[in-house]
Amino acid sequence: MKFESSKPNVQMMARNKDVIGLTRTLKYKDNFVKIESVWALARLGELGVVPLIKALKNKDKIVRRHAAWALGEMKEVRAVEPLIKALNDKDKIFRQNAIIALEKIGKVTIKPLTKALSDKDKNVQRAAKEALEKIEAKKSSQ
């Protein structure tokens, strides 16, 4: 993919609801552009959901991490299954973000989070434990 020599104008693409352009910028070389594009897609709401779910499979871990976080902030139920699959990714920060997103969405089954308690990374384990505690607290208060 090629861009002109100047940086893509993510803000303009977002104003124009240019989902295709924003999706393309997820492959741009500058991490800040990629991150800005993920969050621009998130601000588009419904229009940005499918590209963000697809971004969970992006080869760039920065894009995957932010897409997971954004989908959690959006409380996007359609992202539950892809986020559960993300718990098997090799990037520990992406796994952590997927756990946090699943907890925020709130439509998660306990099984994948329980499995994450035995993750090889202590931070992923802690995120899973905290998510399970929050889910349990929500159930208790209902």
> How high is the pLDDT of residue 111?
83
Per residue in 98-116, pLDDT (tens digit) is 999 998 888 666 888 888 9
> How high is the pLDDT of residue 109?
66
In sequence order, the 6+-apart residues with CB closer than 8 A to the CB of 36 are 10, 11, 25
Q: CA 140, CA 85: separation in Å to the nearest integer?
A: 28
Question: Sign of the CA dihedral 46, 48, 52, 55?
Answer: positive
Residue ranges of domains in the chain, CATH in brackets: 10-141 (1.25.10.10)
Q: CA 83, CA 57: separation in Å to the nearest integer?
A: 10
Per residue in 4-58, pLDDT (tens digit) is 558 999 999 999 999 999 999 999 999 999 999 999 999 999 999 999 999 999 9
Going from the C-alpha of 124 to that of each of 17, 96, 113, the distances in angstroms are 35, 5, 10
User: Residue 141 pLDDT > 90, yes or no?
Assistant: no
